[in-house]
């Protein structure tokens, strides 16, 4: 799990793993990822953060932009017998979200290999 927090006005991120301690308690602990030096670690997380932000922008545009904000414009067109704005709100954003998951997995694996932290 990637955790973002605001410290001294700067966005910081940490890797954390949730482990079950008892029936209702959850303990938070850091997951160690071995990098050769701190510059490589910083470069890795900067690239990973940029990738996540790009994918979130695409998701937000498709979900909110096409499904809510631009629905009237898109409804002038039809797709598979449905108004395009309606289709994006009901099905299209889900398909795009699934595609984004596979894109993230592929890009993340490539990034891991680039920095030597692949499994």
- Using one digit for the tens of pLDDT, what is the confidence trace for 54-91? 999 999 999 888 888 888 998 999 988 889 888 888 88
Same domain, 54 and 109: yes
Same domain, 77 and 22: no
Same domain, 51 and 98: yes
Q: How many structural domains is the chain composed of? A: 2
- Estimate the crossing angle of helix 93-115 against helix 38-60, to 10 degrees: 170
Outline where DSSP puts E strands in 1-119. 2-7, 10-20, 26-30, 78-79, 82-83
Band of pLDDT at residue 19, cut at 50, 70 and 90: very low
Same domain, 15 and 54: no
Same domain, 61 and 16: no
Distance CA 113, CA 119 (A): 9
- Using one digit for the tens of pLDDT, what is the confidence trace for 85-104? 888 888 888 999 999 999 99
Longest dimension (CA), the chain: 56
């Amino acid at each position: 799990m990637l955790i973002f927090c605001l410290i001294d006005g700067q966005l910081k991120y940490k890797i954390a793993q949730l482990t079950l301690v008892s029936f209702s308690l959850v303990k938070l602990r850091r997951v160690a990822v071995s990098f050769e030096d701190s510059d490589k670690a910083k470069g890795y997380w900067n690239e990973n953060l940029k990738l996540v932000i790009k994918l979130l922008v695409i998701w937000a545009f498709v979900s909110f932009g096409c499904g809510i904000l631009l629905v009237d414009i898109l409804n002038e067109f039809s797709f598979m017998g449905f108004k395009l704005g309606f289709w994006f709100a009901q099905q299209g954003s889900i398909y795009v979200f699934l595609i984004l998951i596979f894109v993230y997995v592929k890009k993340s694996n490539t990034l891991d290999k680039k920095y030597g932290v692949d499994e």
